[in-house]
Each structure stands twice: as structure tokens, then as C-alpha cells.
Structure 1
Amino acid sequence: MKVTKRSLFILVVIVATIAVDQISKALVRTHIQPRTEFNLGERISLIGDNFIMMNVENAGAFLGMGSDLNPTLRIILLLILPILVLGFVLRYILKEKSLDNWSLFAFASIIGGGIANVYDRIVYGSVTDFFFIDLGGVFRTGIFNMADLSVTTGMIILLLVSFKKKKENDNLEKTV
């Protein structure tokens, strides 16, 4: 297989996403006391009460959903299904030559974030989450990590790119 600038770009984004996520999680696991059922753990205030770091092990998916599923269903929904989806998305972006650079970056960020969280589930049995944002009740997140941030950022970029393409298509139709 010939390595092109395009496939190298995809690989670099995926590897960088995984590296940033795994390094940040290793630092959190090493330096921040984890939250347990008996202990609230350490909370580090980065920007007042608006941006906080903590160490929470999430046995489920987004916001802990799925953590109480039976083990077989959890393996299917949190490991096998994501691996299949990530594989299909990777195949799609490698084969679909019409994708613009923003879409490639977005898909590669989603794949990298997905791989990083699946890796945690396989190796640790849970995903380490550590960021929490609360903007005075106006905007409040669950506890998340860099992989989650990469997936979310990728989804937002894809949404913006699709709106831009729709607008361009609508403008093109008006001129015809």
C-alpha cells in the first residue's frame, strides 16, 4: 500500500489524539487521588469552581451509561460494536477521496478518541475521566477526558462542514 500525504495526515491525527489522551490519563492516574464509593477523591480547581480536574473511573460509556449492564452485553456494546464502527469509519475515510481536510481531521479525531477509550476499557476495565466544566448552571458537562473532547470536537467539525456544504449547494442551486 502506497503511503500518501493524505493517509499520513490521517495516521498522524489518530496517533496524536491517542497519545495526548493516554498521556493525560496516565498523569491523572498518577497524580490525582481517585474517586471511590467511600471517598470523593481529590478535586483540583483550575479556574475557580468552573473548571475542575478529578479522577473518576467510568465503567460505562458517555456519562456512565451502560455501567450497570451485564458483562456480556457490556462487552458487545462498549468494546465489539465500537471497534467495528471505528474500523468502518477508518475504511471509509481511507477510501473516500472526496473528503475535505476538515472532514478528514474530524473523522480521524473521532477514530483516535474512540480507540483511546476502547483501549482503556480493554486494559483497565474502565475509562479514566477527569475534566468537569460548570459555567454557573448555564452550561455544565459530565466528567470527561481528552478522548471524549476529540470525539466531540470531531462531531462539531463534521456538523459545521455539512452546514457549509449545504449552504454552498443551496447557493449553487439559486444561481442555476
Structure 2
Amino acid sequence: MPETTEIRELTRKRGGVNHKLTNFVKHVVPIYNTFKINPSLDDEVIIELQNRLDKLEIIYNEFEGIQLEIESLSPDDVLEGHYKERDEFTDKYNKYYAIAKKMLNANVGDQISNNKSRSRSCSSSRCLPNVEVNISDWKLPNNVSLADPRFNIPKQIDLLIGASHFWRIVRAGIIHLGKGMPVLQNTEFGYTVTGQIN
């Protein structure tokens, strides 16, 4: 059975999405080759890699949408080829997502370890918050993992993150708790409570 115009158009779109994944791979491979020799990456490289990784899920979702349409419109005799396309894309996506995540995790972890060892030698007695904060009436979502579940109890600061490292740990995702309330900001460590408490 000949391919319909709609399937041809969707196949062309799928090719465009596949090209975006190929560009991601072309960006990651040289960084990974360097990483295998010297795991410490420059700040700019880490920021760009995180930015590209954040967009990769959008690419995957775009591929899935197009692929599902192609599979639903295709006759049975050509489905096997489309399934193969899906498998190849998914394998490539998973492999290079894992490689990029590994490099980012290694670099964020190293920076945090270095900062912790430096901060232990400092004698900072500053505590945050200044007083215990009553959060009993806060509507904290059950499905989020907080970086510090006991954020409302005063304790000595464990770690200060400088501006040069801050953007390495911030992730997409903000949850607003309500007017006059702090927000939850997603980070590499889980959600942090950010903002003024009235």
C-alpha cells in the first residue's frame, strides 16, 4: 500500500526531530571524550550542557507524538520499520542523556565536595532560619522531595553556593505556595524553599 501524503509529512517531521537529537549527540561526544581524560569541565561547558539537556526531553516528547501518529496511520505491512525507528531513536536518546547526566553530576558533585571541605575549615556560627518557622498551615505538595525537609528549624549553614556554581544546580520547576508565601525551586538536590516568610 503506498504511503499517504500525511505519513510522508509526518516522516519528514520525524526526520527533523531526529536531526535535533543528532545535533545533541554531536555536542556531547567531544565533551565526553575530554571528560574521560579530565572530568573537570569549565563552567560555560556545564551551563550549556545543562541547557541542552533540559531541552532534550522536549525533543523526545516531540518525537513520541509524531511517532505515535505515524504508527496509527501506517498499514500493518510497514509498521515493523516504524517500530525500528522508534527503538533506534530511544536507544540513542537514553545513551546520550545518561552520558550528559553523568558528566553534569560528576562536576556538580566535585564542586560541592570542594566547597564543603572549604566551609568546614571556616568557623561560621550563622544559622538559618533565625527562628523556627511554623509551617503547619503551609500546603506543601506531598509529591516533591525537599532538599532539606527540616528547612524551618534553625541550624548552622552546611554549604554556601557561590554565583558561579548556582546555575549548575538549578533545574526547571517552580511551585508557588500562594500569595505572600515562598516558592519551591527545583534543584539538583531536590526542591529548596526560596523567598520571604511573613
TM superposition score category, shorter chain reference: 0.3 to 0.5
TM-score scaled by length of structure 1: 0.33
Which of these two proteins has the greater Rg computed from alpha carbons? 2
